Amino acid sequence: LATFLRGEGMGNHLVTPGTAAAFGGLSAELRAYGIPAACAADGPSGIRMDTGQKATLMTIGTLLACTWNTKLMEELYYLEGLELVKNEVDTLLGPGMNIHRHPLNGRNFEYFSEDPLLTGEFTKAATLGMHKGGASGTIKHFAANDQEKERLHVDSVVSERALREIHLKPFEIAVKEGNALSIMTSYNPINGVQTASNYDLNTTILRGEWGYTGMVMTDWWAIMNNPVTMGDSKRQHASYMVKSQNDLYMVVNNHEAKSNVLGDDLEDSVKNGTLTIGEMQRSVINILNFILQSPVIEREIKADNVIKISGKATDPSIELIVNDKLEIKMDSTVNKTTSFNVSNKGIYSMYVEMNYTNTKLGQSACNILLNSEFIYNAQSSDTSGKWIRHFALNLELETGLYDLELDFRRPGMTVGTILIIKN
């Protein structure tokens, strides 16, 4: 259950490479039950794939709302739904639908307007269009997200009337009339309670008053606090998230949802009686209901990937994998190619070491190719100058020569040592 409540990303091999996240069947045990890994992709301006694959760039939300033409909006997002299905993406992380409150809000471009009715009607048109195209959208950011700077901590202090009439009204329209299936909470607290763990927001209003039966996910690397006493806000407070019926935490590192790399408190909270198995099952049901209504349920379930690559003619001057282990020191921020020989064919695991020093909001991505074949999209957010090592994938390598290539798609990250170990 705990594994199910954690999403992985970005660039997960179980879903379309370069997309924002995978959730659902992230472990072999869950996939054995027939639960697939669903795919989410940024964002409000169309599918973002950090592998460099092409996708349609959508006009920003503000300009779309300037048309006052909801019929055109629905037709546009019908085409977007078709493109999502074609790329095996189950939900687009959008549209964004917060209210324009200040001209310097860094997210204004992806929101529609300062008017709740106009915003709600355009969001409804987008969700209905994507449904007709076979996919869905994740409407966001729920709710009262007014600025980007210090977005995790700036408290949106607001009266209940203003909240209901202005900030929540567009979401209510999208839920009741647009059949929204997925919602993303915002980073900010509302009156001291983080939205990702806000019971009144996610259960009392959304599910109780509006009758919403879909899935709710956090924004990426969100923080939560106690919905009653408030207190410290941390990523590890996943029990407060589940109790409030925000179902899915986004995101943890790829391949590490099961191991609880983030160190959240789900298992400990069940053991000490502050979280029930039933509350976890309730959120899992919400996620499963979304999956059952998504294109992924019709696709073949992907196993833990083993990519088979054939070697080229051996070059004796090139380094050989010795004792079934090779450390390739790339230490590069630019495109780079190196080579190695394999004398002992078999299944090898690849690990990629990365370092990215930037703002907390920055992200970088690099494609890794082997003998000119794409094998992995390495992605990283800010690591505060620390080296991190991610498991990438398993490779079935024949004997011969291999050219390993770095192809940076978004600059800033340093790829350090690439470790290849025989299983």
Q: Which two tokens stand for residue 125?
A: 């048109």
91, burial (CB in 10 Å: exposed 0-12, middle 13-18, buried 19+): buried
**DSSP states of 57-94:** PPPPHHHHHTT--HHHHHHHHHHHHHHHHHTT--EEE-
Task: Select which of 50, 90, 219, 264 is catalytic.
Answer: 219
Q: 240, 227 in Cβ contact below 8 A? A: yes
Cβ contacts of 19 within 8 Å, gap of 6 or more: 9, 10, 11, 12, 39, 40, 41, 42, 47, 48, 49, 89
β 136-142/91-93 pair status = parallel
Residue 414 parent element (H or E) = strand 414-422
Residue 309: phi, psi to the nearest 5?
Answer: -125, 135
Q: Which of 319, 344, 238, 338 is nearest to 6 (CA)?
A: 238
CA distances from 26 to 49, 233, 256, 295, 348 (A): 20, 27, 9, 17, 21
**DSSP states of 276-322:** -HHHHHHHHHHHHHHHHTSGGGGSPPP-S-EEEE--BS--TTS-B-B
CA 341/CA 137 separation, integer angstroms: 46
**Within its chain, how far is the Cα of 333 from the centroid?**
24
Is 219 a catalytic site residue? Answer: yes
Residue 123 parent element (H or E) = helix 116-133
Residue with tokens 């009337």: 161
Instruction: Give the number of other CB atoms < 10 A from CB of residue 120.
Output: 23
Positions annotated as catalytic residues are 219
